Amino acid sequence: MNARFTLLPGDGIGPEIIEQARIVLDAVASRFGHSFAYDAQLIGGIAIDETGDPLPVATIASAKESHAIILGAVGGPKWDDPTAKTRPEIGLLGIRKELSLFANLRPVRTQPALLDASPLKRELIEDVDILFYRELTGGIYFGASTTSDDGRTVSNAMTYSEYEIERIVRMAADAARMRRGKVTSVDKANVLAVSRLWRSTADRVMAEEFPDVEFETVLVDAMAMHLLSRAKDFDVVVTGNLFGDILTDEASMLPGSLGLLPSASLGSSGPGLYEPIHGSAPDLAGEDVANPLATILATAMALRHSLGLHDEAGAVEAAVERVLDNGLRTPDIARGGPTVSTSEMGAAVVAAL
């Protein structure tokens, strides 16, 4: 297969982890007989510095012409001025909108070799394998915002339409059919009117279109507790933008580090956007100590979801598991033991491939 990737290193540790993703993709291409081409573009803070725009026109054009986009991270204290006209994060929100990426997939799977890296007891996290579907383009992050004349009263609207809810629930249910056949919908229907629409819509879609899939609804506050007490009970979890953002960051503590968790943002068609769920960690930039595994696992998601290369994706995931089984650790998961650098970890994954 001939495929084209747009690489968006971004800010902080982004360039270092994207470089390791590219090296792993080259190894996949060599092993499986593919040809991968790359186009690096600007996004986030560095794009503001060089062009004045966190999402330059050239970046959008490149992304739309690619098979998949691999993103590092955006943002940092350098661009935190509240009086600034734009912010690095606008670039990330903008590319999601430009590509109509409404579904954010975040797999949370514990690695056997790292069970003791989690702050939770081993028996609570063994065999956890959850796939979160977070609605990405609606909800409170995109609702209308108001500020009073004196600036002392502010509001943000949480808004969803039936159509937005239907499409993310369908995508989650389709995924459940290929996994363990269970969907959990998370809302706050006992308080929020928008959650009552979410619940009634999800109930209808699941009953009419997916009667073969086990379905349950859990309130978001209860779900926050269940993730820490019985996470292995869940298969596919679908929820709105705000709740999904918070719950998936909480769930990152199950495998022990944000440095282990990838994500994908997908639409109905076109290229997907793949990235680690962690931030730009500017304090680690240039130190060759960041964990590249989440970004490498994000490339596996790109191979699977955008290119349909399931064997190749599985090979990358198996390689990551193998290096962890062999005891290699970056500082974030070392728990005081020996560590390897960002580049050494990437090279180890290539060797395992």
- Going by their DSSP bridges, the two strands 154-156 and 145-147 should be labelled as antiparallel
CATH for the stretch 129-253: 3.40.718.10
CATH number of 1-109+258-353: 3.40.718.10
List, for residues 105-124, the tens digit of each pLDDT value. 999 998 888 887 778 888 89
Where do we find the tokens 């979890």? 237
CB 259 within 8 Å of CB 276: yes
pLDDT confidence bin for 82, thresholds 50/70/90: confident
81 catalytic per annotation: no
Give the integer Cα–Cα distance in Å for 304 and 314. 8
Q: State the span(s) of the chain assigned CATH 3.40.718.10.
A: 1-109+258-353, 129-253
Measured CA to CA in angstroms, residue 140 lies from 7, 92, 135, 215 at distances of: 29, 16, 11, 25
Structure tokens of 241? 């933008």
Structure confidence by residue, pLDDT tens digits, 226-267: 999 999 999 999 999 999 999 998 998 888 666 788 999 999
Amino acid making up residue 169:
V
Letter string b/e over residues 20-51, b meaning 16 or more CB atoms within 10 A of that residue's CB: bbbbbbebbbeeeebebebbebbbbbbbbeee
Question: For position 80, what pLDDT does the model report?
Answer: 87
Using DSSP's 3-state secondary structure scheme, residue 235 falls into coil
Please indicate whether residue 249 is annotated as part of the active site: yes
Rounded CA-CA distance 153/322 in Å is 53
Catalytic residue among 116, 127, 221, 311: 221
- Per annotation, catalytic residue among 11, 187, 235, 245: 245
| Catalytic status, residue 26 | no
Q: What is the mean pLDDT of residues 138-146?
A: 93
Residue 109 and residue 46 in contact, taking contact as beta carbons nearer than 8 Å: no
3-class state of residue 133 by DSSP:
strand
- The Cα 33–Cα 142 span in angstroms is 42
- Catalytic residue selected from 26, 174, 203, 249: 249
Catalytic residue among 141, 182, 203, 288: 141
Q: What are the pLDDT digits (tens) for 160-217?
A: 999 999 999 999 999 999 999 999 999 999 999 999 999 999 999 999 999 999 999 9
Q: What are phi and psi of 109, to 5 degrees?
A: -130, 125
Q: Which of 188, 235, 274, 332 is catalytic?
A: 188
Strands (E), the chain: 2-10, 35-40, 68-73, 103-109, 129-135, 145-147, 154-156, 182-187, 214-219, 236-239, 262-266, 272-276
